Amino acid sequence: MPLDMEELADHIAGEYPGKLFAPIRFVGPSEIFFDPRWLVDVGVRPEEIAAGLGGYRYGENVAHVPAGVVLRDRLDRPLFAGLFADAFLEQISLASLPSYGETTYPEADPGVASVGD
């Protein structure tokens, strides 16, 4: 089920109320782009928002979804498998990946073949 951008924006704006701008500029399949003016307006960093959304549940993101589409058995499940700000992702190298260990998320993508395979 796709992420409801309007509901996510409402949730974030409720946690970090701003005065002038909406928090989210765009939501893609695997990315959320915040309005940089909003970040300055509320004085928050993407890392703080990512940390705050760690407990965001599927059930919190269905207010604008027709009732017949909602997967009721998933309402209490975390919506995100991981949340990372671009500053963190940009510093990761292939050599550093093993230091993060194995996933504990059973539905995780098995990944891609090693470089050179």
pLDDT tens, position by position, 100-110: 887 776 776 66
Confidence band (pLDDT; 50, 70, 90) for 115?
Answer: low
Residue 81 lies in a domain: yes
| pTM across the whole model | 0.71
Calculate the alpha carbon distances from 83 to 5, 37, 56 in Å. 16, 21, 11
Q: Which two tokens stand for residue 39?
A: 């970040």
Residue 52 lies in a domain: yes
What pLDDT does 47 receive? 92
Residue 111 lies in a domain: no
Domain count along the chain: 1
What residue numbers bound the domain in which 40 lies? 5-100
Residue 116 lies in a domain: no
Q: Which amino acid is at 49?
A: I
pLDDT tens digit sequence for 10-66: 899 899 988 888 898 887 777 888 999 999 999 999 999 999 998 899 888 887 777
Residue 11 lies in a domain: yes
pLDDT tens digit sequence for 53-65: 988 998 888 877 7
Residue 110 lies in a domain: no
Q: Which of 30, 32, 38 is nearest to 6 (CA)?
A: 32
Residue 109 lies in a domain: no
Residue 106 lies in a domain: no
Distance CA 77, CA 86 (A): 25
